[in-house]
Amino acid sequence: MKFTLKDYQEEAVGKVLVNLKKASKRWREDGDKHAFSLTATTGAGKTVMAAAVFEALFHGDDNYDIEPDPGAVVIWFSDDPSLNEQSRYRLLEASDRLSISDLVVVQNTFQREALEPGKIYFLNTQKLSKSSLLVRGRDRDEDADTDAPPLPMPDSRSWTIWDTIQNTVDDPALTLYLVLDEAHRGMRAATGAGEKTTIVKRLINGSGSVPGIPVVWGISATVERFNAAMSDMQGRATLPNVVVDSGKVQASGLLKDTIILDVPKEAGQFDTVLVRRGTDKLKEISAAWAAYGAQQSDAGVVLPLMVLQVPNAPDHNDIARLWTRFSPSGRSCPKMRWRMCSASTRPRPSDATACPTSHPSGCRTPHGSGF
């Protein structure tokens, strides 16, 4: 791990690994399916804890007394592609043993006979919807509310994603784990959420020839939501939920006791506060360097540079308004070196004295030279 886990995180990771070890053993020996959740308040570092679990699951960890599972395969599932991408980024950020190739985003072009061990596959409800290329050609779900035949499988595809999941579950050398990120989403009964509910239940319960995924690990902010979501799941035992004490999270410093918001009473425009503070700081640094140069009798002069980054094709009126923060008159600049950056402009020589009153040819700034 790139991060040192907090005490409560280490404790939770250990409990999750105990549950996964039990669930895997019972699946391989008796064919029993299990589910449990990791519940922790927002900000507790649930994804960081998940990264530590995956490292131990794939590579083993003496601290947790766990051997690597050579057949472990993980599906990370949520109802939001952006949430998946965020989780994927955080896993990579936290782990030094998980590589980009280990974290596979399942796209419409994805096809494998079975999932590969040692990898985490990111799926979302859209990828498993009726119209998705990943499911075309699969027999109609027995719970479907239509008698219409399934859409034909694309010519270039040999397996649907449901075929791949079925083959993975059926392979005795593999153990498939399902991680439900924000586990209550997509499983609660709500208007317009029928297909999402069916998809998640099909992953958990199975449907037709597709068996349910053996081990389900839910990640949620409240244990009640996970318990309610799992209440009608079939043929699946539950293991003790891992609940992180929010008091321990607060004591660790990750959650603040008090947040003070300073709202100015006076009316005005405050979107240039940082520019003004940066300008004041630049003046202070410039004066300090000038005094240091005079004290050292150094011929070299240090001229601090302020970089003001703006969007592509910036509005010149906005730039002019920002520039007036440098000088009340808006007509001249303090004697300091500055530049403006925009991806749509090119570098130009900077002026260390003052802005010219006329613009250089092609200059995109209201005053001064730069780019």
Task: Verify that 225 and 274 share a domain, yes or no.
Answer: no
pLDDT at position 361: 43
Host domain of residue 267: 261-371
Task: Verify that 328 and 223 share a domain, yes or no.
Answer: no
pLDDT per residue rounded down to tens, the chain (371 residues): 999 999 999 999 999 999 999 999 999 999 999 999 999 998 999 999 999 999 999 999 999 999 999 999 999 999 889 999 999 999 999 999 999 999 999 999 999 999 999 999 999 999 998 888 898 875 555 445 455 556 666 666 789 999 999 999 999 999 999 999 875 454 544 334 556 567 888 899 998 889 999 999 999 888 777 777 677 787 899 999 999 999 999 999 888 778 888 777 777 767 677 888 888 898 999 999 888 888 887 667 788 888 877 777 777 777 776 666 665 444 444 444 444 444 444 444 444 334 444 444 444 444 433 33
Within-domain flag for 309: yes
Task: Verify that 90 and 236 share a domain, yes or no.
Answer: yes
Within-domain flag for 28: yes
Contact indicator for 319, 366 with CB cutoff of 8 Å: yes
Task: Verify that 241 and 328 share a domain, yes or no.
Answer: no
- Cα gap 26→32, rounded to integer Å: 6
Q: Which of 252, 280, 310 marks a domain boundary? A: 252
Show the DSSP H helices in 187-272 as ranges. 194-205, 223-230, 246-252
- Cα gap 327→85, rounded to integer Å: 44
SS3 content of the chain, % helix, strand, coil (to 5): 35, 15, 50
Place of tokens 């002019």: 320
Within-domain flag for 1: no
Q: Which of 198, 229, 252 marks a domain boundary? A: 252
Task: Verify that 196 and 61 share a domain, yes or no.
Answer: yes
Handedness of CA 156, 161, 163, 168 (dihedral sign): positive
Contact indicator for 13, 49 with CB cutoff of 8 Å: yes
pLDDT at position 301: 79
pLDDT at position 1: 95
Within-domain flag for 2: no
Within-domain flag for 243: yes
One-letter amino acid of 251: A
Task: Verify that 179 and 315 share a domain, yes or no.
Answer: no
137: left (phi over 0), alpha (psi -120 to 50) or beta: left
Bridge partner residues of 175 (DSSP)? 72
Task: Verify that 359 and 296 share a domain, yes or no.
Answer: yes
Within-domain flag for 325: yes
Task: Verify that 191 and 299 share a domain, yes or no.
Answer: no
Within-domain flag for 367: yes
Place of tokens 């004295």: 353
Task: Verify that 314 and 357 share a domain, yes or no.
Answer: yes
Task: Verify that 238 and 356 share a domain, yes or no.
Answer: no
Q: Which of 206, 228, 252 marks a domain boundary? A: 252
Task: Verify that 37 and 157 share a domain, yes or no.
Answer: yes
Within-domain flag for 152: yes
pLDDT at position 187: 52
Count of domains for the chain: 2
Contact indicator for 31, 233 with CB cutoff of 8 Å: no
CATH code for the domain in which residue 17 is found? 3.40.50.300
Task: Verify that 206 and 231 share a domain, yes or no.
Answer: yes
- Cα gap 52→335, rounded to integer Å: 53
